[in-house]
Amino acid sequence: MDVLQVAGFLDNSLVNGKGLRAVLFLSGCHHNCKGCHNKAMQDFCYGEKVCIQEILLRIKNNMPLIKGVTFSGGEPFEQADTLYKLAWAVKSEGLNIWCYTGYTLEYILDNLNNKGWRELISSIDVLVDGRFEEEKAAKDLRYRGSSNQRIIDVKESLKNNNITIYNVD
Ligand code: SF4
């Protein structure tokens, strides 16, 4: 059975990516950013273990209302080995995927041999990357906490071999 350590779930949200989206918060993060808003979720044991089939069912119960699913945390890439299976199932339902990560896209691409990283990044449409930097935080930033973080169109970036910023308008 494929199980994820889940810190939280929102059936629908407008602030965690473009359009109405389900949001899955994954437990566990090593980044330890100063000013982290989700400190409790840094703990790899926080929350509960949930089978990916159960999460998928809950997501499907919100279709066709939602446009996609957002993975947040915590650090979703720490559970990539199981999370990619959920991501692939979500994609097969025709939903798009946003993912928040403290890693940069460049770092992820340099470490594709980490378990599940290649599979997970290949399923993500939009990546909001980089650690939260308190001194670069601003309230008016859409879909991100600090200005160093980038909202990246992953498919275009991989196709062009160049970071392509996603147009949020
Ligand atoms: S990456 Fe996110 S969850 Fe992890 S420490 Fe930084 S702000 Fe907190």
Could you report the per-residue pLDDT of 44-58, keeping only the tens digit for each?
A: 999 999 999 999 999
- In this predicted structure, the answer to whether residue 139 has a pLDDT above a threshold of 90 is no
Please count the structural domains in the chain: 1
Give CA–CA dist 19/166, Å, rounded.
14
Q: Is residue 126 part of a domain?
A: yes
Question: Would you say 105 and 157 are in contact if contact means Cβ atoms under 8 Å apart?
Answer: yes
- With respect to residue 167, please indicate whether it lies within any of the assigned structural domains: no
Distance separating alpha carbons of residues 29 and 101, to the nearest angstrom = 10
Nearest to 98 by CA among 26, 151, 161: 151
Looking at the chain, the whole-number percentage of residues with pLDDT higher than 90 is: 96
Dist CA 91 CA 97 (whole Å): 7
Which numbered atom of ligand 1 lies nearest the CA of 101?
Answer: 1
Ligand 1 atom 3: the closest Cα is on which residue? Answer: 74
| Ligand 1 pocket residues where CB is under 6 Å | 29, 31-33, 36, 38, 41-42, 73-75, 102, 131-132
Q: Which residue segment(s) compose the domain that 66 sits in?
A: 3-160
Task: State the Rg of the chain over Cα.
Answer: 15
The stretch 59-65 carries a mean pLDDT of: 96
3-state helix, strand, coil split of the chain in percent (to 5) is 30, 25, 45
Distance 102 CA to ligand 1 centre (A): 6
Assigned token pair, 43: 């703990």
Span 5-47, pLDDT tens digits: 999 999 999 999 999 999 999 999 999 999 998 999 999 999 9
For residue 168, being part of any structural domain is answered with no
Mutate to test the pocket of ligand 1, among 38, 100, 149 (most ligand atoms within 8 A of CB): 38
Query: Is 1 a residue whose pLDDT tops 90?
Result: no
